[in-house]
Amino acid sequence: MKLDIIYTYFNQKEYTREMLLYVDKYIDKDLLKDVAFTIVDDNSEYPLMDYLPDLNNLNLKIYRTDFDGYNIAGAVNLGCIKAETNSVVCLDMDMIIYNNFVKRLLSITPTDEYHHRLYLERAHKVDFVLGKIYYKLCGWHGLTTKANRIKYLHDERFSGNWGYHGVFMRDCMRHDGIKELPIHDQRVIMSPRVYLNKELVFPASGLEYRKHRTAGETPDLTRKKDANKPLYDKLLKQLNDGTYKPYKALNFNYELIYKNF
């Protein structure tokens, strides 16, 4: 295998099921054989194993944690530490990938000097009169070596609340001289639905919109960043004055509950 793609899961049972079926069916088999997919089930109320569809082409691992609360920083850290290859990409469940995107990632041989940043475009406005879709550039996600992802793990002091874990990770990379190379020619689309040849393939007909206010199907989690902003300011100051020390990772229990390769 040549590439790890890591997702985190929290109660997005139907959305995740449809995503897995979509990738399994519509991404070329010749590409999928070189990719190891990891999903970290972050102690969701709806264990992913209860909703896992039959898959024919995905090389898939699933970990489950016991963290109580919002923990994308720790969940991503777990996936990176357990990566199978030296080429690692982290995505969210609502990031739609295409064959050209996977092919482009496989064409990159990452080195520790670079962070290949992905362009994530969220469709935030549609003008039906002009027939135009407007996208918002966002996200910290990218492709880099496993060594770099382990060296620059998310600081898990951000866990428990939303935001800034990814921003601070990129700050740490930049501080140490890691160069950022955007992948201009391929972008991940964060859209409500995906059509191929005018057929709706993702998500299913019962999931025609994303809940932007909360994280997918997780109404108890809020995306307000107020709680993490003071922590970010504090850690950034430490980083700039040379006193920052990385925080211990994986502050929770976890187990590998599924592996099909």
pLDDT of residue 95: 83
Q: Is 171 in a helix, a strand, or coil? A: helix
pLDDT of residue 110: 97
pLDDT of residue 256: 98
Tell me the two tokens of residue 46: 């709806």
pLDDT of residue 214: 36
pLDDT of residue 216: 43
Fold of the 3-259 domain: Spore Coat Polysaccharide Biosynthesis Protein SpsA; Chain A (3.90.550)
Give me the DSSP letters along 83-108: -SSSEEEEE-TT-B--HHHHHHHHT-
pLDDT of residue 27: 96
Write the single-letter amino acid at 7: Y
Which candidate, 3, 21, 197, 185, places its Cα nearest to that of 93?
Answer: 21
Q: Give the whole-angstrom CA distance, residue 166 versus residue 145.
A: 16
Q: Give the whole-angstrom CA distance, residue 254 versus residue 150.
A: 17
pLDDT tens by residue, the chain, 261 residues: 999 999 999 888 887 888 899 999 999 999 999 999 999 999 988 899 999 999 999 999 999 999 988 899 999 999 999 999 999 999 988 788 889 999 999 999 999 999 999 987 766 666 667 777 666 667 789 999 999 999 999 999 999 888 899 999 999 999 999 999 999 888 787 765 555 556 665 554 444 444 443 334 444 556 677 889 999 999 999 999 999 999 999 999 999 999 999
